[in-house]
Amino acid sequence: MKIALDAMGGDHAPAAAVHAAVWAARDFGLTVQLVGQSAAIEAELAHHKTAGLDLPIIPASQVIEMHEHPATAVKSKKDASMVVGMNLVKRGESAAFVSAGNSGGVLAAALFGLGRIKGIKRPALSVIFPNTSPQGYCFLLDVGANTDARPEYLLQFALMGHHYASEVLNMANPRIGLLSTGEEEDKGSMLVQEVTPLLKASPLNFIGNVEGKDVPAGLADVVVTDGFTGNVFIKGAEGVASMIVKQLEREIKARPLAVLGALLARPAFRALKARLDYREYGGGPLLGVNGVVIIAHGRSDAYAIRNAIRVAKQAAEKNIVGVIERGLNESAIDQPAREAVG
């Protein structure tokens, strides 16, 4: 299997991306196509042992930077690594594309280059979010592709989340929760109140509305929300976790006995860190576009990008695009939502 990687994407590109490609090629037996500026990639590859690994360079002379306006950049930079990578997927030369670059840019490049799955109104960006369930995480979408959503989009996000959780994450009959301000159906925004009856009427395992605290508590396997709320939610969670770690460090450092205690407890802290580490899952799929696209955190190091490549492999192996397309046809959720439910 060939996976295309945006060698120029992310805060630590190209070093982290090239390192990740070497790592993933070795661990997962993949061909990793390094898309980007050849000279820079070659210079990085020289730092690694690559004997026996298949790491072709696919030249792309331009880079979409983090601060650029996504749609404008994608339109004007025809030879950007993201654009070239999407074309590889479109032509069937890559099973998936992975990028830690400007996520709006990846979204725009995917929409221009691959388009949407027939019947899907909007793609959704997703993440694996840690929780206290035995499984250890849920699947949360949308986390930023659509800052203003309509009820029928959220219904489709739920459907796509169901298929991804079932097929790729191996969750049986995943519990779908709609993020809201209370469990009661009369709570929440107008959007939530319009989505609730659509989800109830759908064939999905909809367990009702869940609150912010219910997500880490593991009440739902798939959490559906609009891209604005989802984005604020995951970044808030990241910030809170970081604040807790910093404050605890500060309190420990102020107390000599606590410093000793923290040393003794270090393996427990490390285990906790691994459990909450976004790098373990590497990246989230951009669902609804006509190809497998995985978006990794801009801050990703080589380990995170290596794992994002693993996620891409799994999604491609399970043919998530075909599964969603079939699921959409079977559930009739590609019809205008109001007609579909009544």
CA 199 – CA 287 distance, rounded (Å): 19
- Report CA-CA distances (Å) from 173 to 160, 211, 277, 321: 13, 21, 26, 19
| CB neighbourhood size of 18 (10 A) | 29
Report the relative pairing of strands 124-130 and 222-224 from DSSP bridges: unpaired
Map the footprint of a second copy across residues 94-133, applying CB under 8 A: 130-132
Closest to a second copy by CB, 203 or 239:
239
> Taking Cα atoms as reference points, which of 164, 195, 201 lies closest to residue 178?
195
| Member of 79, 118, 269, 326 binding a second copy (CB under 8 A) | 269
Number of residues that bind a second copy (CB under 8 A): 66
Q: How far is the CB of 341 from a second copy (least distance, A)?
A: 22
Exposed e or buried b for every residue in 48-83, given b needs 16+ CB within 10 A?
beeeebebebbebebbbeeebebeebbeebeebbbb
CA 277 – CA 262 distance, rounded (Å): 20
Closest to a second copy by CB, 232 or 340:
232
Closest to a second copy by CB, 148 or 339:
148
| Member of 233, 289, 315, 334 binding a second copy (CB under 8 A) | 233
Under the binding rule (CB under 8 A), the answer on residue 179 touching a second copy is: yes
Under the binding rule (CB under 8 A), the answer on residue 251 touching a second copy is: yes
In the chain, DSSP finds a helix count (H) and a strand count (E) of 13, 11
Under the binding rule (CB under 8 A), the answer on residue 75 touching a second copy is: no
| Member of 275, 332, 335, 338 binding a second copy (CB under 8 A) | 275
| Member of 15, 262, 340, 341 binding a second copy (CB under 8 A) | 262
Under the binding rule (CB under 8 A), the answer on residue 257 touching a second copy is: yes
Under the binding rule (CB under 8 A), the answer on residue 241 touching a second copy is: yes
Under the binding rule (CB under 8 A), the answer on residue 243 touching a second copy is: yes
Query: What phi, psi does 63 have (nearest 5°)?
Result: -130, 135
Q: Among the candidate windows 26-34, 57-65, 77-85, 231-239, which touches a second copy by CB under 8 A?
A: 231-239
Under the binding rule (CB under 8 A), the answer on residue 215 touching a second copy is: yes
Closest to a second copy by CB, 172 or 254:
254
Query: What phi, psi does 37 have (nearest 5°)?
Result: -75, 115
| Member of 14, 216, 283, 284 binding a second copy (CB under 8 A) | 216
SS3 content of the chain, % helix, strand, coil (to 5): 50, 15, 35
Is the CB of residue 154 less than 8 Å from the CB of residue 326?
no
> Taking Cα atoms as reference points, which of 97, 95, 93, 69 lies closest to residue 83?
97
| Member of 65, 212, 303, 317 binding a second copy (CB under 8 A) | 212
In this structure, what token pair is assigned to residue 317? 């192996």
Q: Among the candidate windows 28-36, 86-94, 246-254, 282-290, which touches a second copy by CB under 8 A?
A: 246-254
Under the binding rule (CB under 8 A), the answer on residue 11 touching a second copy is: no
Q: Among the candidate windows 48-56, 238-246, 284-292, 305-313, which touches a second copy by CB under 8 A?
A: 238-246
CA 286 – CA 300 distance, rounded (Å): 17
Q: Among the candidate windows 110-118, 152-160, 242-250, 321-329, which touches a second copy by CB under 8 A?
A: 242-250
CA 214 – CA 121 distance, rounded (Å): 28
- Report CA-CA distances (Å) from 50 to 2, 31, 45, 110: 16, 12, 8, 30
| Member of 134, 264, 339, 342 binding a second copy (CB under 8 A) | 264
Q: Interface with a second copy by CB under 8 A: which residues?
A: 67, 69, 130-132, 144, 147-148, 179-181, 184, 186-190, 192, 211-217, 225, 227-229, 231-244, 246-248, 251-252, 254-255, 257-258, 260-269, 271-272, 275-276
